[in-house]
Structure 1
Amino acid sequence: MSMIRSVNPGALKPDEVAGYVIEPALKASVFAQAATQMPFASANLRIPKVQDGSAAWTAEGTEIGVSDAVIGEIVAPAKAIKSLTFLSNELVADGNPGTLDLIGNGAAREIAAQLDLAAFGATTEHGPAGIESVVGTQALADTSDLANLDDIKALIAQVQASGYSPDVLVATPAVFARLAVLKESAGSNRDLLQPDATAANGYRVAGLNILVSKHVEENRIHIWDSTMVILGVRQDAELVTSTDAAFSSDRTSVRAVARFAIAFPAPEAIGSLTVAA
């Protein structure tokens, strides 16, 4: 049976596309691992923002003071990541069942890379605004020499003082390499990083889950409360093929489309520091 039949346009339902492309992309994306994922199906992801009313100690038999919760809304537009690849018709004609997995995994890696690049950056043409564009985040006044964990702990304290619970630290591979060799004291062989088999890469630092991405800006560390960093995943992903566009070269084109929204509803739940080179 040829693969054309397996993946012709309309043959893959949205839930099938999710299995081949979206789920692998979310597993491969560092940002997706560090954020709260929300499915949505419209042009915008809408996140309610509630400022609680007030409560007070009140004497028995007296009127209770009335206050209203203030309800707002954060609107994050869906942005599309699209990829177009070509396969030789010889490969398609082989009908290997694993070929569709290879196509999906390839598209997933491309989508994950573009998602992380945008999320950890500032602005991306035709894409969402990333963490470096967020105004009002916590920051240390000076760069850190990263000689110990003091600056990271100070940043954690700042975020906690704003009422949030940071649980994630994201850094570049180079910065993680510096963290990985920090010791308890001069001459000690005991690492400051805490081994944790349940953590994403096997370590925690000051209680935070460590995630590493080459798409984080150079010499930057971010910590945040993952409940306040939102990744919207729209439920209309596409994976379709066509033999028309590359007819003259005897190839089949494969188009993948995924749409995401990114929102940072509480900038003060995010802390960032710059590491001295």
Structure 2
Amino acid sequence: MTMNTAGNSGVLPPEYGQLIVEPMTQMSVALQVATVINTKAHDFHFPRVNSDVTAQWTAEGATIASSDVATDSYVVTPKKLASLTTVTNELINDSSPAAQEIVGQSIAREMARKLDAAFFGNLPAPAPAGLGSLTGTLVVDTGGTIANADPFIDGQMEIEASGAALTAWVTSPATARAIAKIKQSADSNVPLVSPDVSAPSGRTLLGIPLYVTAAVPDGTVWGISKADVFVVMRQDVEIATSSGGSTFAADSTDIRGVMRVAPAFPRLDSIVKLYDAA
């Protein structure tokens, strides 16, 4: 994270980065379930293999058949995500870590919320394209209601059949609550979702971490392979402040956070969408 100040050199202590970047990483589900790539380039290119070379059993001395590998490039352009807030100079100059944390947590929370909304949604430009915009991902039709573990087993097997590995489930709070009430069998009181302090999300579903975010629509569950789903960052969070202009008379300071980031989904068969497809 980089910082720039104008008019109040004491606004951001050296520790301020930890008050924003680290909480944002913890708050953003996208940054937890995807692989984060940092780049200085305007565009980031993912080379893709669309069809593998072929191998054949060949007799000794016989000519080995030649084959070509089909490749292309998946290009991602990080987009600008910005936040602006105004706080009193009394709060900014307060030496209490708790006072500084209030501002940092606010910026981190908003950045995380907007990043997740873009990652899991289908927002209009200039937001980057998210999971909700994709066609061609793996799909499991859950019907009207998820009543047992079958859709999750199907989703996991679909991803594994493609050669990927399921590493996270992500759904909405309401859907997570409904899934948590499902029992492992008709004559069991053991829930399908298990608390697990060793899991990053604190809970697992079929042994896979289950994450919850309001950015996912109710009734939808995403299954993701972290090795094949990415968040590309061209610019880490940059914080700038200014106490001039309209904030001068109010004895307050504007704090602006800016980052350039975009999700990337070069392999559609590493993502499964569980929902009512009817």
How high is the TM-score relative to the length of structure 2? 0.86
Corresponding position of 2:174: 174
**Residues 41 and 236 of structure 1 are in contact (CA less than 8 Å); yes or no, is this contact kept in structure 2?**
no
Corresponding position of 1:255: 256
After TM superposition, list the pairs within 5 Å mapping 1:117-136 onto structure 2: 117-136=117-136
Deviation at 1:153, TM superposition (A): 1.3
Corresponding position of 2:227: 227
Q: Distance in 1 between matches of 2:67 and 2:276?
A: 45
Corresponding position of 1:103: 103
Q: Distance in 2 between matches of 1:225 and 1:125?
A: 26
Q: Distance in 1 between matches of 2:39 and 2:17?
A: 14
Q: 1:144 to 1:208 in 2, by over 3 A?
A: farther
Q: 1:180 to 1:97 in 2, by over 3 A?
A: closer
**Residues 121 and 130 of structure 2 are in contact (CA less than 8 Å); yes or no, is this contact kept in structure 1?**
yes
How high is the TM-score relative to the length of structure 1? 0.86
Q: 1:212 to 1:61 in 2, by over 3 A?
A: same
**Residues 40 and 234 of structure 1 are in contact (CA less than 8 Å); yes or no, is this contact kept in structure 2?**
yes
Deviation at 1:7, TM superposition (A): 3.8
Residue 4 of structure 1 aligns with an amino acid whose one-letter code is N
After TM superposition, list the pairs within 5 Å mapping 1:1-277 onto structure 2: 4-7=8-11, 19-51=18-50, 52-141=52-141, 143-245=143-245, 246-274=247-275
Does the residue aligned with 2:129 lie in a helix, a strand or coil?
Answer: coil
Q: 1:59 to 1:22 in 2, by over 3 A?
A: farther
Q: Distance in 2 between matches of 1:142 and 1:87?
A: 47
Structure 1 residue runs without a partner (length 5+): none
Q: Distance in 1 between matches of 2:238 and 2:68?
A: 44
Q: Distance in 2 between matches of 1:192 and 1:275?
A: 20
Deviation at 1:76, TM superposition (A): 1.0
Q: Distance in 2 between matches of 1:231 and 1:137?
A: 18
Residue 268 of structure 1 aligns with an amino acid whose one-letter code is D
Q: Distance in 2 between matches of 1:220 and 1:31?
A: 16
Structure 2 residue runs without a partner (length 5+): 1-6
Q: 1:22 to 1:234 in 2, by over 3 A?
A: farther
Q: Distance in 1 between matches of 2:260 and 2:217?
A: 23
Q: 1:19 to 1:65 in 2, by over 3 A?
A: farther
Q: 1:63 to 1:6 in 2, by over 3 A?
A: farther
Deviation at 1:175, TM superposition (A): 1.1
How many residues were matched structurally? 269
Q: 1:211 to 1:203 in 2, by over 3 A?
A: same
